[in-house]
Each structure stands twice: as structure tokens, then as C-alpha cells.
Copies of this chain bind each other. A is one copy, B any other.
């Protein structure tokens, strides 16, 4: 389901991907301890590769580690969610601004038709904003920024953490129609090469989805 397919060449890569998935998807509970020996027997690899995988997860802010004590999966809190979305707002806002400057016409075109196609599905009763569609939208704009460091930052680290929150809070359905409209406006601003507006709209869009999640979080 990932667009930016990272390919695992080394055994450490595979372990990292697998462990990350199990954490993000909630198979390994938030806040739980990660024992190196336990995981190495479970995945049938040496402790060294598990260690390396955990180190990488730490760099993603998915686990926290204390020296000589060990690593724990981060706990999901309202504060953490807000912090994360503040960062997303800043970075993806900038990405939208840069995309308005740098995204090739052809890519903008494709993004627009993608939205149109999704709109057809909405009219036919299928709910838009099925995770994947939203993801695709955001990812294309991030790539459109053509800022390599920004792309790496968002798609390696922040994205997975954000998904962890959504998954574990059971965010599947809503925000159907409004999200579509918001996407549409953002694309229009990019097509008009209006970076200022694109940034403002993207930031609002992310603020809305933050509020949407925060509401659910407060009910738990």
C-alpha cells in the first residue's frame, strides 16, 4: 500500500520494515518494551540486526530508548498527536508552497485527473478519503516540492508516526466530502502557481484533520 516503495536489500532492512509495520499497525502495542533477544528469536536473526532496526526506529521517533535499559514503543498521547500535526502543518505547508513553484505541469495534470476519478467514486456512493487516496494526494505534493530532504523527512519518519496514530485510533471513514473539496482547492492553487495560497490551504487542511482526530482521541 506504500507508494514510495523502499526495497529491503539487507537483513537489517527487512527486520526494520517488518518491525515498523507491526508497531504502526498495532500488532505490537504502543508503550510496550522491545526486548532484543525476544525479537531476535522471533524473527530468527541475530541480536545485532534487531539492534540496528531498533536504532532506526528510534530515529523515526517510533521508539524511545534509554541507555543500558532498553527500548519502548512510544505511547500515543493527545499532546504527541498535536505536536506531530504541528510539524506536519509546517512541513507540508512548505511542501505545497514549493510544489506550486516546482511541480511539473504534467504532474499537476495527473494529480487533477486523479482527484476527478476519485470524485466519480464519491458520486457513486463509495466513500472518498479512503486512507490510500488521501495518502496518494499528500505524497504527490511532497514529491512535487522537489526538496529531497523534505521528501525523506516526511516519508521516512513523520508519515509512519502519523499513520500509527490514525490506525490505532480507528480513523477509517469520515471527512469524506470536505476533504475532497480541500484537495481540489489546493491543486487549483498549485496549478495557478500560487505558492502563498497553496501553503495556507494545505495548512488548514491539516489543521482540520488534526481536529478530526483529536475529537476521537478525547473520547477515549
Contact = CB atoms under 8 A, between A and B. Distances in A.
Contact of A48 (B48, B86, B150): B48
A147 B86 contact: yes
Classify chain A: how many residues form its interface, as a range.
Answer: 20 to 34
Interface string A79-105: 010011011011101100010000000
Contact of A90 (B80, B83, B93): B93
A13 interface: yes
Interface in A56-95: 56, 59, 61, 67-68, 80, 83-84, 86-87, 89-91, 93-94
Nearest to A82: B147
Contacts of A86: 94, 98, 147, 150
Contacts of A153: 87
A67 B13 contact: yes
Contacts of A90: 90-91, 93-94
A142 to B, nearest CB: 12
A192 interface: no
A152 interface: yes
A84 B94 CA distance: 12
B9 A61 contact: no
Interface in A10-60: 10, 13, 48, 51-52, 55-56, 59
A148 interface: yes
Contacts of A152: 61
Nearest to A13: B67
A103 B9 CA distance: 46
A172 interface: no
A149 B68 contact: no
B55 A149 contact: no
Task: Count chain B CB atoms within 10 A of each CB in A89, A91, A149 and give the residue with the most.
Answer: A149
Nearest to A145: B86
Contacts of A56: 55, 59
Identify the 9 closest CB pairs spanning chains A and B, nearest first. Answer: A59-B59, A90-B94, A90-B90, A9-B67, A83-B149, A83-B147, A10-B67, A90-B91, A55-B55
